A and B are shown apart, each in its own frame.
Chain A
Amino acid sequence: MSWRRFFERRRRDEEFARELEAHLALEIDELIARGVPRDEARARAARKLGNRTSLRELAYEHNSVLSLEAFLRDLRYGLRQLRRNPLFTTVAVLSLALGIGANAAMFSVLDQALFRMLPVERPQELVLLFQPGQMQGWTETDEPGGPSFSPPTFRGLQANPGPFTGIAGARSVPASLAYDGQASFGTARRVSGNYFDLLGVRPAAGRLFTTRDDETPGAHPVVVLSHAYWMRRFGGEGSIVNRPLVVNGVAMTVVGVGPRGFTGERRNESADVFVPLSMNAAMAPEVRRLDDRRHHWIALFARLKPGMTRERAQVEIEPSYRAEIENDLAAVRLRPDTKERYAAKRLVLQSGAHGRGGPNADERTQLLLVMGMTVLVLLIACANLASLQLGRAAARWRETTVRVALGASRAVLVRQLLVESCLVGLIGGALGLMLARWTLPALAARIPGAPGDTLSVVLDTRVLSFGFLLSLTTGILFGLFPALQASRPGLADALKDQSDRASATPGATWFRLSIVTGQIALSLLLLVGAGLFTRTFLNLIHIDLGQRVAGLVTFSVQPKLNRYDDTRAAELYRQLRERLSAHPAVRNVSDAMNPAIAGNAASCNVTVPGFVPADEADADSRRNAVAPGYFRTLGIPLIAGRDFTADDAAGAPKVAIVNETFVRHFLGTRDALGTRFGLGAGSKVPLDIEIVGVAKDAHYDSVDEPPPPVFHLPLAQAEMGGRHFYIHTDAPPETMAALVRSEVAALDRDLPVRGFKSMRTQIDERLFQPRAMTTLTMTFAGLATLLAGLGLYGVLAYNVARRTREIGIRIALGAGAREVRRLLGREVAWLLTIGGVLGLAGGAALGRVVQTMLYEVRPWDPAVYASALSVLAMMAVAAVLLPARRATRINPVIALRHD
């Protein structure tokens, strides 16, 4: 009824105006008929009717659902109330600002990492192609699950796209980008000609690639800049189009700029420039060919035809894929069992709406976990505010009853109190969003699974609306129950001046106790989580990596990106080694192909006489190629044989140094020195590499995985790859950084030094995730415990105040301090027991969720639970101390005169 009136109120207002006009006219007519002069009649009629505008306003308001005027009145009143209680307002606004700020920042991260789709046309139509299972030849990949395809397979699928409107391919490559004589490192994404068309993105300047830019290998020196790189490097200058940019030593023409916010279809990296796949040979320092079925390196995605589902597409593309597998099997010779497994492979489609390489399952769980913790902390803060508000309602008891006595309805009272708490929520929220704006960059750098440098740290409309909704929700959340309680006064009680009744009703008491119990449970849950992650982190940093950490720095140079050939590159490395080792602060210098404990792995199958592999993976060994002095520099002892020397050159007899695990795995108890093994699998593999040394086990690519079998070849006898230098020095890393830069520049001014860092930093980077989880969970658990402690203190202090008379009587009857303390202790014990049981149950559930992220800690680790419980107990003791002191000091004489 009132809603209809609400929507009709303009029409009704006009009608009422006409009705009033008619009334006036009738009255004037009548007065004139009675002989009153016209002017006099008009004045008298108007007087008799009253103020017409205010009448209309009254009617208008009558037709409104919520009166604006009443709302403004509530708002003014609310603001006045908040000003009158600066302590409450400050505490409330600040705790909400912290809570909402953290939530908004976290939501921004989560939104970008998990929820937001690619900024392309109809992203939900995109699918990613995977071919998990048996591989053959060379595979280069940047994510697990078999996303790499050979160029011939890509072209074959492209020719028969079946359920797709098209299939596009891409793979990034590190790039040395030079413009106007200044070089910098970046990422170039090699893309197929239809890449931009298929994604449906439009250029911000110039044009994007077409299939004509990707026809003849090596014949299309054109480059598209990403919007971010364009802004960063060229300040968004449009004149860059048609200018030359040197990419990995090739002069290319800038043809256009991609759209704002688009950095490629890969989420966890941002491409600086895009080059056609056809330019691959010129771009990639390592030869991954465009015409070889054994080279798998292109990641594929496709767009579903309108109305096509992913499930149906997977069935319909199968014939095209099967044909490619047949082609592979015809072109590549495989062992029968391998062949069988290879033929059984199927193409798998995954949703591409969110792009490629988002957070993995663990990172996803961690993100949601951190978000959950942030919400929990806000919830605990809200609970405290609800408690406070309830206390204030008691103080405002008389005011409320007076208002009820004067005819205020309950709805009006509740509305007024809610306006007040929402006001607090909104002020806190606004402050929180400002806070989020500052903390977002720091948070973004600490969140595992967040797409690091691709993360935007700007609060967009989504985050702002989230913050706004959250502010209102918290306002209602902490304000509703106290408001409902406060607006239920009985006039009789008020007249009897039972001023503490409002917060002592069974409902209010129950509410406060359950709030505190909930807080205890939640903080225990967070404490258990924090304990588990802390234990994990401590276990990880105490792992013996088997190599030197202190006094070791590392960096890399990639002269091949600057078009050095093998000979020139080898010469550069030799000179650099010499120049650096000549420096007095340098103890040892060496270099290797694969960086130590950096998450990079290279491996291949080996054939060791007398070793029969259980399966293909069993014959796999990690490999590395190292310069002489590598083991000495890294502090890995050789336990048998010799180190490489300059004599182990390209033409010399092939030699290797293996680690202990290699010996254990492939040779067992047999003597390793002098044994010859071969690379690859099969009976025709020449056993031409002699083991000349055995090194002690050291971690290979990760901190938490135990050392795998590793063999090292001399650099001169290995396939050339990137080069990572190690310097054992007593000088601080900053000094070494300057030295390295000047020495590299002295050899080649255009050669950038890449990734200079201390070994400590490199290992810390590997421990980023567990450290982040430890910091975040510890912070949140600490905050939660603090808030729960405040909540507990509040309830206890209030209870002591309320029971002053009772305690006074007890003391008067001879109860000592001990009995009084026991009285309080019993209450706390109950809260702790119930909260504790709930919290432990939650902790057990949490432990199960995070099990895969833990290192050598069981989810039910007794030490973790014991310490969580003892932290909670300490919190409880601290919270009970003050109220207990007050209780034991109650003077019975004064207490009994109290009220």
Chain B
Amino acid sequence: MVDKSRRGDMLQGTLDVLVLKTLISGPAHGHTIAHVIERGSEDVLQVEHGSLYPALHRLEDRGLIASFWGTSENNRKAKYYRITPTGRKHLVKERGRWEALVQAVARVLGPPKEECE
């Protein structure tokens, strides 16, 4: 059997890490998280807002983040998420894995080359 916590595609895992990273700086609601990710990646990563919520719920089910209802800066009721200690540990681990992967891919691809004509 595949380990459930590690099942799923690469993108989803990536989104998880990005969400955790966003929450390191403090609790936020889904809307903020989506925009922070978009802006943080200089709009390279477009988050479809809908797909964010299943990710948030999954993370909550796994105990990596916790939620509470609060009031937003412009006085609206919103559900806030904050990272749990488990979440922090997970982030560190995933970040390590991610960097290892990036280096590995970079090594395979080699230094940027001039395109030959």
What CA separation (Å) do A695 and B58 show in the bound complex?
Answer: 97
Give the A-B pair count, Cβ closer than 8 A: 63
A52 to B50: give the CA distance in the assembly, Å.
8
Residues of B within 8 A of A29 (CB): 74, 76
Cross-chain contact A410 with B1 (CB below 8 angstroms): yes
Q: Select which of A5, A19, A51 is within 8 A of B53 by beta carbon.
A: A19
Cβ of B63 to closest chain A Cβ, rounded Å? 9
Shortest distance from the beta carbon of A38 to any chain B beta carbon, whole Å: 15
Within 8 A of B (CB), among A18-51: 18-20, 22-23, 25-27, 29-30, 48-51
Interfacial residues of chain B within 1-46, with CB under 8 A of chain A in the complex: 1-2, 29-32, 35
For residue A801, CB closer than 8 A to chain B, the reply is no
| Smallest CB separation, B78 vs chain A (Å) | 4
CB of A58 closer than 8 Å to a CB of B: yes
Could you say which residues of chain A place their CB within 8 Å of the CB of B76? 22, 25-26, 29
State the CA gap A48–B2 with chains docked (Å): 33
Cα A48 to Cα B34 with chains together (Å) = 11
- For the complex, is A332 an interface residue (Cβ under 8 Å from B)? no
Tell me whether A409 is interfacial, beta carbon within 8 Å: yes
Q: Does B90 contact A (CB under 8 A)?
A: no
Contact A59 B53 (CB under 8 A): yes
The count of residues in chain B whose C-beta lies closer than 8 Å to any C-beta of chain A is 22
Whether B48 and A50, one on each chain, are in contact in the complex, defined by CB atoms closer than 8 angstroms, is yes
Complex CA distance for A289 and B72, rounded to whole angstroms? 98
Complex Cα distance, B57 from A90, in Å, reads 47
Docked complex Cα distance between A19 and B81 (Å) = 12
Q: Is B77 an interface residue (CB 8 A)?
A: yes
**CB-CB < 8 A to A409: which residues of B?**
1-2
- A contact residues around B32 at 8 Å (CB): 26
Interface SS, B side: helix
**A26: nearest residue on chain B (CB-CB)?**
B31
Most buried by B among A20, A22, A52, A62: A22
Chain B residues with CB under 8 Å of A50's CB are 48-51
List chain B residues, Cβ under 8 A from A58: 54
Query: Would you call B95 an interface residue if the criterion is a C-beta within 8 Å of the partner chain's C-beta atoms?
Result: no
A30, B31: Cα distance in complex, Å: 10
Instruction: Please give, as numbers and ranges, the residues of chain A lying within 8 Å of B29 by CB-CB distance.
Output: 22-23, 26
Q: For residue A56, which residue of chain B has the nearest CB?
A: B53
Q: Is A1 an interface residue (CB 8 A)?
A: yes
Question: How many angstroms from the CA of A62 to the CA of B55 in the assembled complex?
Answer: 11
The residue in chain B whose Cβ has the minimal distance to the Cβ of A29 is: B74
Q: Are A55 and B31 in contact (CB under 8 A)?
A: no
Give Cα distance in the complex from A15 to B57, angstroms: 11
Interface contact B74-A23, CB-CB below 8 Å: no
Let me know if A631 is at the binding interface, CB within 8 A. no
Tell me the smallest distance from the CB of B87 to a CB of chain A, in Å: 17
User: Please, how many angstroms separate the alpha-carbon atoms of A410 and B72 in the complex?
Assistant: 45
A16 on the interface (CB 8 Å rule)? yes
Residue of B nearest to A22 (CB): B78
How far is A368 from B85 in the complex, measured between Cα atoms in Å? 63
Residues of A within 8 A of B78 (CB): 19, 22-23, 26
Chain A residues whose CB sits within 8 angstroms of the CB of B61 once the complex forms: 1, 5
**Chain B residues closer than 8 Å to A18, beta-carbon distance:** 77, 79
With a cutoff of 8 Å between Cβ atoms, the chain A residues found around residue B53 in the complex are: 16, 19-20, 23, 55, 59
| Whole-angstrom CA separation of A15 from B68 in the bound complex | 11
CB-nearest residue of chain B to A45: B49
Asked if A23 and B31 make an inter-chain contact with CB atoms under 8 angstroms apart, the answer reads yes
Is the Cβ of B79 less than 8 Å from the Cβ of A51?
no
Known contacts A19-B79, A27-B49, A410-B1: A59-B30 contact under CB 8 Å: no
User: B77 touching A22 by the CB < 8 A rule?
Assistant: yes
Alpha-carbon separation in the docked complex, A27 to B49 (Å): 10
Contact of A19 among B1, B2, B30, B48 (CB under 8 A): B30
| Chain B contacts for A23, CB-based, 8 A | 29-31, 49, 53, 78
Residues of B within 8 A of A (CB): 1-2, 29-32, 35, 48-51, 53-54, 57-58, 61, 72, 74, 76-79
Given contacts A16-B53, A16-B57, A48-B48, list 7 more A-B pairs with CB under 8 A. A22-B29, A22-B79, A23-B53, A26-B29, A55-B50, A59-B54, A409-B2
List, sorted by A's number, 7 A–B pairs whose CB atoms are closer than 8 Å: A16-B53, A16-B57, A19-B30, A22-B29, A26-B74, A50-B48, A51-B50
List 3 tightest A-B contacts by C-beta distance, closest first: A50-B50, A26-B31, A22-B78
